[in-house]
């Protein structure tokens, strides 16, 4: 028996269960796709790590392969205190980020002292047929332990029939020592395929943080 076969057989019980020792980084982490993954499975397409970056742009991976794409923001921190974290879409592979958008926005927050809280619509964050960057959070703190985390879902971006709906939910360590939960949704009012997305802060660089792009397995 070969060494690979012998190693595997030594880690399978008589009931056919693979023991933890039979699954290693070499056997799992190198797998880039699962052809038989069930519908709804997240397929990691790319990861970008900020390091005093002016912007983070995804110019590949958004196509007709999936009907839904999800971006995850992990510990994203601005260089400038009270900066707004934003995104925009492109229909020309990133030459321009200027898709017309109509959006809605609200926030729930509470401060660390437990003395101030609210659930409110945010008039200053929504857009009405604007090509501006859409804010996903506001007034993010830039302290050493302050950051934001969240997700952005975009649906059927490659469609040439429908507008491009998106939903974003994020939580930020607000510069005013608040936990601020942001809810943003809307649509890119274009029937052209969206094939690139850019993230940035309204002022200053992205000090650090990770943004991942996933495709959602079709049914």
pLDDT, greater one: 142 or 33: 142
Tokens of 80: 């400038």
- pLDDT mean over 89-95: 98
Residue ranges of domains in the chain = 1-31, 38-216
Model confidence at 18, pLDDT cuts 50, 70, 90, reads low
> Which pLDDT score, from 0 to 100, does residue 53 have?
98
- The pLDDT tens digits for 71-84 are 999 999 999 999 99
Q: 4 versus 83: which is more confidently predicted?
A: 83
Its pTM stands at 0.83
In this predicted model, what pLDDT tens digit does every residue of 31-61 receive, in sequence order?
555 556 677 899 999 999 999 999 999 999 9
Q: What does pLDDT average to over the chain? A: 90
Confidence band, pLDDT 50/70/90 cuts, at residue 6: low
With 70 as the cut, is the pLDDT of residue 8 above it? Answer: no
CATH fold of 38-216, please? Jelly Rolls (2.60.120)
Compute the average pLDDT of residues 141-152.
97
The conformational region for residue 93 under phi > 0 = left, psi -120 to 50 = alpha, else beta, is: left
Distances (CA, A) of 71 to 19, 74, 87, 176: 33, 10, 11, 26
In 3D space, the residue among 83, 215, 72, 204 whose CA is nearest the CA of residue 149 turns out to be: 72
Residue 166 burial (10 A CB sphere; 0-12, 13-18, 19+): buried
Residue whose C-alpha is closest to residue 46's, from 71, 22, 25: 71
Q: What number of CA atoms fall less than 13 Å from residue 136's CA on the CB side? A: 25
Question: How large is the average pLDDT for residues 89-114?
Answer: 98
The arithmetic mean of pLDDT across residues 138-151, rounded, is: 97
Residue 200 in this model has a pLDDT that exceeds 60: yes
What pLDDT is attached to residue 30?
A: 47
Residue 192: CB atoms within 10 A of its CB come to 16
Residue 40 gets the label, from left (phi > 0), alpha (psi -120 to 50) or beta, of: left
- pLDDT value at 144 more than 70: yes
Mean pLDDT of 5-18: 61
Q: Which of 10-19, 71-80, 129-138 has the lowest mean pLDDT?
A: 10-19
């Amino acid at each position: 028996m070969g060494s690979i076969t012998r190693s595997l057989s030594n880690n399978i019980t008589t009931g056919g269960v693979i023991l933890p020792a039979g699954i290693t980084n070499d056997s799992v982490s190198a797998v880039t796709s699962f052809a038989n993954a069930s519908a709804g499975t997240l397929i990691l397409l790319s990861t970008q790590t900020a390091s005093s970056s002016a912007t983070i742009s995804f110019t590949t991976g958004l196509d007709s392969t999936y009907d839904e794409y999800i971006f995850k923001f992990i510990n994203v921190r601005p260089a400038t205190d009270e900066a707004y974290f934003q995104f925009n879409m492109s229909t020309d592979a990133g030459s321009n980020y200027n898709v017309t958008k109509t959006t809605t926005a609200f926030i729930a927050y509470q401060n660390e002292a437990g003395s101030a809280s609210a659930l409110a619509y945010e008039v200053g964050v929504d857009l009405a047929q604007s090509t501006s960057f859409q804010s996903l959070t506001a007034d993010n703190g830039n302290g050493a332990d302050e950051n934001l985390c969240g997700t952005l879902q975009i649906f059927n971006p490659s469609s040439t029939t429908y507008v491009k709906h998106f939903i974003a939910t994020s939580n930020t360590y607000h510069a005013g020592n608040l936990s601020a939960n942001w809810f943003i949704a809307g649509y890119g009012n274009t029937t052209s395929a969206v094939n690139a997305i850019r993230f940035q802060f309204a002022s200053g660089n992205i000090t650090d943080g990770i943004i991942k792009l996933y495709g959602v397995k079709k049914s």
